[in-house]
Amino acid sequence: MAVEKTTGAAFSWEPTPETIERANITRFMREVDARALDDLWELARRDIGAFYDRLIGHLTLSWFRDYTNVLDCSRGIPFARWFVGGSYNASYNCIERHIAQGRGQSPAIIWESESGTTRTLTFDQLLAEVCKVCGILSDARIRKGATVGIFMPLLPETAIALLAIGRIGAIAVPAFSGYGAKALATRLNDAKAKVLLTADGTHRRGKFVDMKSIADAACDEVPSIERVIVVRYNDAPCLWNDKRDVDWHKATFAQPHFVEAAQTEANDPYLLLYTSGSTGRPKGAVHGHAGFPVKVQIDQYLCFDVKPGDRMLWFTDMGWMMGPFLVLGALGLGAAAVLYDGTPDYPHNGRLWEVCARHKVTHLGIAPTGIRSLMVHGDEVPRKHDLSALRILGSTGEAWNPEPYRWFSDVVGGGNLPIINYSGGTEISGGILGCFPIRPLVPCAFHGPVPGMDADVFDDEGLSVRGKVGELVIRQPWPGMTLGFWHDDERYLQTYWSRFKDVWVHGDWASVSEDGFWYIHGRSDDTINVAGKRVGPAEYESALVGHGSVREAAAIAVPDEIKGDAVVCLAVLRPGWEGTDELRAALMQAVIGSLGKALAPKAIKFVDDLPRTRNAKLMRRVARARYLKLGDLGDLTALENPASLEAIDNAI
């Protein structure tokens, strides 16, 4: 297969013929007689069910019972069901399938703590540990369909918990390890969880985080909780409730080393993943056994080119979608999941690169904000470490700015590695748009839809548009689409299906350029309307970061009597720069030079920090609410750095 040519763009990376030849997606394209990506996209659009039937067969997944109907839309497209009649268990496919193929002694879980402690589990060892936890859950009277919470740092036991819950046919409810008691209790109460798996605590930037106390306070408010199973990770003193608490490791001693995987139906619920927005209670997206796990394997196979023996590290938390994505996707394809329970620049600013080098990471994923925070330490920091094992760089969570993208590509990747830009969501089970290691890349762009995702860009009237910004939509169902919101079908339909008939409206602004590249411009609810001109915050932020003095920026909308919205830019400066009026004027000119005088910001303010989540996603709505001194800041449960709120108060 020849290199696919794309004109009109300056490439940041181009594949070699050898790269194309050994790519997973090349193998599949040859199997279905697709000569180019456009052929593959068209093949999927023409008959979505037949496309996925071929793809699932290509992946050689293990089914206890073959499905009789690949796609059932009898309840309507919003409630499409895939692989009907099939029996599939994610735990079996993530472990035994690879043991049967002779990879039992290969690494499955590679873990490192913030302090540098490491641990590795082979597929054989992982199976034994998962089965022991199945026994503990059985002793706690957990049966098929029961909900089990996971409130843990990123430990080997966290991945074990996720797999064990699915192995017995129960429903896993992962929660962000940084939640407070109220946020945790809200999700456990909504899920009616019977058991919570937690840890005594963890360390963040050298400080102990007492997770057991948070878990106790939350469980006291959740009547359905009967047991709390505790990993003594730090062996820290903690209050013990003899009637409720179970010591994880002591309890495993008497447990069997093998438990048969339940023959769960393809659409039996496996994951209940809560997402939160600016208003309303958290939404519980329900995912099935052959939904989320299958979708993330598809995406990792086609987009990230994951192969048996690879090692993927994604900087995330099990409470975010990318945590289960890492574990279920990498293990499902026979690769190792590298879990790093720490921060990327502590106790020194090269910590993440050190972890990648030590464990010979082949796939590294991180949000653009994470790269912006790391690049300020200088080019020499990653270059001190042997990153030669890296083969693929990954990114998701928000839109890129050009300068951090180029730094990730040139400094970390040496200009030789593709950045697989990836965008989707929790309710999607992975990506809508992606990149592929067989086609040249341009900075910040996507090649297009993940094959099998019938994505498009619509204007306000529901017409497909090119060369202008519109709503990102999906026109046909896909495996991995949420089975609905937990006990709330009406909210599910209203959120995603109410605008255009039988079309999923994702809530992202997107565009497709004349040369065929796709771009994400941020959340549509973040969009700013300046005198009738719609503009995304990322455009302002890219102009500021591109100046060289700004490490990170947030563009927010503020009320304006004449324009409707005006823009205020909050800028965090790089070390060595001072927030002077002269710099402010220079930054203003940089924005005007990029966007034009009509879209000039009302003000540029200097701040010491901006609110973000632990996986480095910028929380613009919180920044806006704090700057405008609104009484309600919305949901703050994901906020990693509360001191950033005071930093906005002190903006100059």
DSSP 309-341: T-EEEE---TTSTHHHIIIIIHHHTTPEEEEEE
Number of H helices, E strands in the chain: 23, 30
What is the 8-class DSSP label of residue 503?
B
Rounded to whole angstroms, the Cα distance separating 92 from 258 reads 12
Amino acid at 347: P
Give the global pTM.
Answer: 0.86
Question: Residue 456 in 3-state DSSP?
Answer: strand
Coil, strand, or helix at residue 72? Answer: strand
The domains found in the chain, sorted by start residue, are 17-97+266-521 (3.40.50.12780), 103-252 (3.40.50.980), 527-649 (3.30.300.30)
Distance CA 505, CA 456 (A): 10
Report yes or no: 615 and 315 within 8 Å, Cβ to Cβ.
Answer: yes
**Separation CA 350–CA 375 (nearest Å):** 10
What residues pair up with 433 in beta bridges, in sequence order? 423, 449
Question: Are the CB atoms for 648 and 629 separated by under 8 Å?
Answer: no
Q: Take residue 577 and report the two structure tokens written for it.
A: 């720069």
d(C-alpha 313, C-alpha 592), whole Å? 39
CA–CA gap between residue 630 and residue 278 (Å, rounded)? 13
Which burial class, exposed, middle or buried, applies to 247 when counting CB atoms under 10 A from its CB (0-12, 13-18, 19+)? middle
CA distance 621 to 279: 11
HSE-up of residue 227 (Cα within 13 Å, Cβ side):
18
CB 37 within 8 A of CB 438: yes
Structure tokens at 454: 């019938």
Beta strand spans in 328-454 (E): 336-341, 363-365, 392-395, 419-421, 423-425, 430-434, 448-449
Residues 6+ apart with CB under 8 A from 41: 448, 449, 451
Q: What pLDDT, on the 0 to 100 scale, is given for residue 420?
A: 98
Q: Which DSSP helix (H) or strand (E) runs through 301?
A: helix 292-302
pLDDT of residue 544: 93
Strands of the 227-231 sheet, one edge to the other: 245-247, 227-231, 195-199, 147-151, 171-174, 269-275, 283-288
How far lies 427's CA from each of 84, 89, 196, 485, in Å? 20, 20, 23, 9
Alpha carbons 5 and 15: distance in angstroms, whole number: 11
Return the sign of the alpha-carbon dihedral for residues 554, 558, 560, 563. positive
Non-local (6+) Cβ contacts of 38 within 8 A are none
Cis amide prior to 237 (ω within 30 degrees): no
What was the pLDDT predicted at 278? 42
pLDDT value of position 280: 55
Strand partners, 485: 285
N residues, the chain: 652
Q: Alpha-carbon distance 565 to 569, whole Å?
A: 13
3-state secondary structure (DSSP) of residue 472: strand
The residue assigned the tokens 């341009």 is 442
Amino acid at 448: G
Alpha carbons within 13 A on the beta-carbon side of 435: 27
Task: Round to whole Å and give the CA distance between 482 and 488.
Answer: 12
Give the per-residue SS3 of 505-558. EEEEEEEECCCCCEEEEEEHHHCEEECCEEECHHHHHHHHHCCCCEEEEEEEEE
| CB-based burial label for 360 (10 Å; 0-12, 13-18, 19+) | middle
The residue written with tokens 């499955």 in the block is 108
**Distance, CA of 312 to CA of 316 (rounded, Å):** 12
Contact 558, 567 (CB under 8 A): yes
Can you tell me the distance from the alpha carbon of 312 to that of 336, in angstroms, rounded to the nearest whole number? Answer: 6
- Residue 6 is predicted with a pLDDT of 52
Contacts 24+ apart (CB under 8 A), 486-494: 486/190, 486/191, 486/272, 486/284, 486/285, 486/286, 487/284, 488/283, 488/284, 489/79, 491/283, 492/78, 493/78
Give the CB-side neighbour count of residue 265, counting CA atoms within 13 A. Answer: 11
Specify the DSSP class assigned to residue 2: P
- Name the pairing type of β-strands 430-434 and 448-449: antiparallel
As given in the structure block, the two tokens for residue 332 are 């499902």
In this prediction, the residues of the chain whose per-residue pLDDT falls under 50 are: 3, 7-8, 277-279
CA distances from 286 to 93, 431, 572 (A): 20, 17, 38
